[in-house]
Structures are given as structure tokens and as C-alpha cells.
Amino acid sequence: MYNNYMRLKPTMATNLYENIILVVVTSRIIPIALIIIFILVSINPSHTGSGGNRILTEPDKNVKSQISTNYAYSREPAPMGIADYGIGYNNVPYEYNTTSFMGIVNITYIHTYNSSINSTLPFGRYGMSVQLNTVMRFSSGEKTYVYWAQNVAVINTSDNEIAFIDNVWNMSSQDSVMKNSTISGNGSIYGNAYIASASEALPGNYKNLKTPFFIKFITNVTEVNGRPELIFMYNDGYGWVTYDSPEFKFVSGLTAKPVFTVNGYKLTPSDNYYDAELVLGGPGNGTKTVDEKSNIEMYLKYWNGHNYQMITNAFNYGSDTQEGICNVTDTYKFNNGFIYASVINSSSNNELKQIYNLKDVALVNISSNLKSGYISINGTMHQFFNCDANLTLAPGYYNITVYSSNRQFIKSEFYQLRSGEYLHIFAGAFYKIILNESGLPVGTKWYVNYTYSTSNISNSIIIMLKNGYYSLNISSANKDYRPENYTINIKVSGNNQTVNITFIPVLFNINIIEHGLGPGQKWTIIINGTKYETTEKSISLDEMNGTYEYKIPETNGFYSSNPTGIIRIIGNNVTINIYYHKGMVDELQEYLYLFVAGIIVAASIFIIFKKRKRR
């Protein structure tokens, strides 16, 4: 293993200032580890203006952004993909905050190459990176801190081997540094950055992916024990993995909660962009690479408090990282209404530009009183929380359907969306009806049928209903049980309700009739170990479908001709006849008694006769 320390100077703008760069790369000797710093490009144009704290606002059309997105890059090679600078139609700025960004990259195929890339960099000449870059800010005391978070996949495009790393940089001032006392996580401080590489043992890391494949990133910011914490996640087909959660341990008290910020009014204190970007570039150390063959879809979404929503204004390049790529065409396309940046290799149409804005797309707001649910856009499901959903869609025709959290149908309509349109859909006021079941064996499926049907194997079903009168039909997959009431009538009038449903066993009669005993004589039958006694002529029992073993013991010397047997109940009542008779031992004893008595009588007569004869 070895470490490679380098000092680098960005050279892409006349007013860039020098950054000290530290690169640490470990060899591919097992165990594998990869640590690499991605490079900031800092700019210092004049700028004015300020912004509010909002998710998304109607921009002030009289205000123009003083920020140029072309200070760092005006042509390829550049970090190409999709980015939100907080600048919309006609250069109008806006600002929003969020706690999470999601990047989705669908790769049909990719191959990059740059013969000048140092072979010590990860994956060498065939290496490239995919970066989700976001800017976090928070306040502690009277000071505001700004940090840049990078969630990165590095790919060897010769065999599609992939590795994940994250970086955190300090943008709080022109001369900000990162200290060991600043942050703690799975990584360490190197120079002016925190760097962590995902463990080789994690699912999906250091895997050779087969095309087509996807990479998903989520970067979250939250508060833990009064301190900001970043959360870096990825999913490349092996499920979601959280590989690092660095905490800003120097913070002793927050006066403004940590958020990611997109702001087109101003730059960061270090003169970088308040942007969010999902971009392609070289494998690290400010390297550039060449796209030789590609077909890639890139989606950039932010958490709006209800769902992940595609950004509403997009550029096809980022600016806060120095890694770049060339020979690509990056344009706006959509799939089933959802907008993405399409990246293909091409030597023409390589302009760095805004690829869409609010004038090109439609915004859809769906409001309800559902705590959570799903929206289907032409059959594609998307989850939402906290009553509302906000979507950025391409113009077109859509079947928009709303479902509750348990996929219960709520509302469905066809809509035509036009460019620049805002559509509000009211899904209605629905109330939660909780149906609690008792009496069924654990794991038994049961059903509630009304206008729409639903089922469950747990002991609760939740349905959402508008105000009105409803008849609920209850049933079970296990026909050995039935509801106490097959139909339940309820009235919904502006409140949630709880309804208890009781299932009872379906029983059939077993009628056991005795023959052969005298009146009032006690007799017994034992069924599956349970003893039943009576002096009546019959015993009547109610049992479920099934097989039952019986035994009939002797009673006062009388025996059953069928002392053991099987009773089978298959959806019908059953009658069993029991026939008693005297036991053979008792009959022999009776015959012996008569025989002895006969001998004694005969002997007595003989003796009397002899005595009389002597006289």
C-alpha cells in the first residue's frame, strides 16, 4: 500500500483561487480500500440579493439572478448530467430547502477512456465517477456553517466494477478548514476534506454490474442529539445501503436546523454555488474523461415534505466539482411523464445550458387527508406522506389514480397537462375505518367487501371512506369460521371509527344414540379424550369439520358392539348409533349359576327320594 499526496491548482476561470488537494489512494491488494478527494472549483463573481426559506415559490419576475452558471464551465469537458442552481425561466432566481436529495442513474451502457489519467487513480484510464453533490447549511450560536456533501460512485467502465465513497468539504468561509474535531464518521480528515469509503463487505460495493444497471443515491441531513448528521446511501440492485453517517461533533447547540439549500440569489461564503447536481466526471483528482459510448438516464429529485419530486428547473451540467467529461450530448427527455437528463456520446450538440424550466413542465398537487398513500401515474406507483403530493411532469395525457396506504382505491381521473400548467387535484376527505378481527386462527385471511374489496391476514384492516352509509360484507378464507354478522352497516360522518368483528366456528351436530340399555342406565362415550356421560338415550354435541376418534367403555356389564371408531364431519350433521349387549363373561357366569343350581336341586330331589324309599 502507498499514499499519494498532491497539490493541485484549478485553472478553469480567471478568478479562481488555489485549493490544496490531498489524494489518498490505496492499492488493489486485498483488503480493498479506496479513498479519494473530489475537487472543488471556487469562483468569486459579484452577486447581490437574498432569498426566503421556502420549499418552492413563485419567483419574482422583476428580480434577475446575479449569478452566472458559466463562470466555472462554459464548454466540455465539464461535470455533465442534471443540476438545480436555483435559477429558472428567464434567469429568475428562487430558493428552497430540503432534508434529502435522491439521484437515479439508469445506465444502458457506458464506456469512457482517457489515456492521460494516472493509473494510480481508481480504475485508471477506464475510470469515471457519478456524483450526487449537495450543499448543507446550519447555524450554531450566531454563526452559519456551510458544507458540501458528495455521494459518489466510481466505475471501471471496462468491466463495470463499482465502488462508493463520500466527501464533505467546508464552505463556511474563504479560508475554512476541516479539523478532526469537526466531524466523525466512518472516514477521516485529509487536508481540507472529510473522506470515507464504503466497506468492501457491504452489499453492492466492489461488484461487477451487468448492463443495463442502475445506481440510486440518497443523501439525507438530520439532527441527532442536537447535532447535524449527514447520511449517505446507495442502491445498485443489492438493496439500499447506508454506508456512512458523519456527525458534526463540534456543534453544541443548533439555532437553525440543518438543511440542504438550493439558492439562485447568492453564492456560498466560499464563493461556490448553492446548487444540487447529479453529474458524471473523471474518477477523481480533478480528472476529465471522454465518453466513448453511453446511453444514460439521470433523475434528480428532492424531498418536498411529502414525496421525492423531480427538480422544476434543470441545467445539464454542474459547477462545484472539477471532475468532468466530454463528448456527450445532454438533453431533456421524459419517461411516462417523469423528466430526466438523457446523456449519450456525441461530438455535436455539446452546449452547456438550461435544458428545461417551469415553462416547459407541469406541476401537479394532489391534496387529501390521507396520512400516507400512493399515486399512480399511467400505472407507475409513487408513495406520498402527510396528505399531499407534488409532482413535476412533462406535458401530456395522464391517468392519475390515488390509493390509500393499503392500496385502497380513492380517486381516478384522466388529465391533459400543458406546459407551464399548475394542476390541483382534490382527492376528497376520507376517514379511517379500523376493522379489528377476533376469533380466527393466526394467519387466516379474511375479507371486507363493499364498493371495493380488501383483505388481510393480520387482525386489522384499515379502509378509508367518505361521509355516507356503507354496508360491509365480511368473510373468511377459512370456511370453518364465519362472522357473527355477515353484514355490518356503518355511518361515516366526519370521524375515524373502530369496528370490532367477531368470527365464530362453524359447528355441526353429532347425535349419538344408545340402544340396548335399560331406562335410566348410565353410559359413557369418550371423544378425542373428552368424556361425556348420560342416563338419557342420546348425547348431542356441536363440533367443527374434522375427524374425531371415540371410545365406548363397558357400563354395568354391557358392552358396545362398536367400542371404538371414527366420526367424520364434512359439512353435515352426523348420527352415530351405539348398540350395547351383555358381555360373554357375564352370560357364562349366569349359565354356570343355573347349571350349579340345577345340580343342587336334582341332588336334593335324589336324596329325598332315597330317604322315602328306605321307609
pLDDT digits (tens, 9 = 90+) for 132-157: 999 999 999 999 999 999 999 999 99
Last residue of a domain, one of 377, 396, 426: 426
* Assigned domain for 12 exists: no
Q: Residue 218 belongs to what domain range?
A: 80-319+338-345
| CB contact at 8 A, 303 and 73 | no
Residues 257 and 143 in one domain: yes
- As given in the structure block, the three cell numbers for residue 171 are 464552505
Residues 182 and 241 in one domain: yes
* Assigned domain for 73 exists: no
Residues 441 and 412 in one domain: no
* Assigned domain for 417 exists: yes
Which helix (H) or strand (E) is 611 found in, with range?
Answer: helix 584-614
Strands 453-456 and 468-476: unpaired
Of the candidates 358, 377, 492, the one whose C-alpha atom is nearest the C-alpha of residue 434 is 492
Write the CATH number for 478: 2.60.40.10
Last residue of a domain, one of 505, 533, 554: 505
Long-range Cβ pairs for the range 67-70 (8 Å, 24+)? 67/93, 67/264, 67/265, 67/266, 67/267, 67/273, 69/273, 69/315, 69/319, 70/352
Q: Give residue-wise pLDDT tens across range 437-492.
A: 999 998 889 898 876 666 666 788 888 888 889 999 999 999 999 999 999 999 98
Q: What is the pLDDT of residue 595?
A: 63
160 Cβ partners below 8 Å, 6+ apart?
110, 208, 209, 210, 211, 213
CA distance 260 to 221: 7
Of the candidates 311, 370, 368, the one whose C-alpha atom is nearest the C-alpha of residue 341 is 311
Residue 257 backbone dihedrals phi, psi, to 5 degrees: -65, 150
* Assigned domain for 84 exists: yes
118 Cβ partners below 8 Å, 6+ apart?
124, 285, 287
Of the candidates 97, 49, 149, the one whose C-alpha atom is nearest the C-alpha of residue 257 is 97
Higher pLDDT pick, 121 / 571:
571
Residues 175 and 289 in one domain: yes
Q: What is the pLDDT of residue 157?
A: 97
| CB contact at 8 A, 166 and 232 | yes
Q: Starting at the edge strand that comes first in sequence, how are the strands of the sheet with 422-426 ordered?
A: 388-393, 362-367, 422-426
Strands 213-224 and 227-235: antiparallel
End-to-end Cα spacing for the chain = 142
For the chain, what is the largest distance between any 2 Cα atoms, rounded to a whole number of angstroms? 167
Whether pTM exceeds 0.85: no
Q: Count of CB atoms within 10 A of residue 200's CB?
A: 13
* Assigned domain for 48 exists: no
CA distance 525 to 333: 80
Residues 497 and 408 in one domain: no
Q: What is the pLDDT of residue 611?
A: 67
Residues 188 and 114 in one domain: yes
Of the candidates 281, 282, 284, 319, the one whose C-alpha atom is nearest the C-alpha of residue 298 is 281
Lowest average pLDDT, out of 256-270, 448-462, 565-579, 598-612, goes to: 598-612
The mean of the pLDDT values for the chain is 85
Residues 99 and 167 in one domain: yes
Residues 499 and 513 in one domain: no
Residue 438 backbone dihedrals phi, psi, to 5 degrees: -140, 150
CA distance 28 to 206: 11
Higher pLDDT pick, 598 / 165:
165
Residues 193 and 286 in one domain: yes
Last residue of a domain, one of 345, 380, 404: 345
| CB contact at 8 A, 112 and 291 | yes
Q: Give residue-wise pLDDT tens across range 570-591.
A: 999 999 999 998 865 455 455 5
Residues 437 and 531 in one domain: no
The size of the chain, in residues, is 615
* Assigned domain for 59 exists: no
* Assigned domain for 360 exists: no
Q: What is the pLDDT of residue 406?
A: 82
Of all residues in the chain, the percent with pLDDT exceeding 70 is 84
* Assigned domain for 274 exists: yes
| CB contact at 8 A, 355 and 395 | no
Residues 422 and 452 in one domain: no
Q: Give residue-wise pLDDT tens across range 390-418.
A: 999 999 999 999 998 888 888 889 999 99
3-state secondary structure of 47: coil
| CB contact at 8 A, 166 and 151 | yes
Residues 219 and 131 in one domain: yes
Q: Tell me the β-bridge partners of 83.
A: 277, 315
pLDDT for 354 beyond 90: yes
Q: Give residue-wise pLDDT tens across range 175-202.
A: 888 999 999 999 999 988 999 999 999 9
Q: Give residue-wise pLDDT tens across range 376-391.
A: 999 999 999 998 999 9
Domain count, the chain: 5
Cα 17 to chain centroid distance, Å, stands at 44
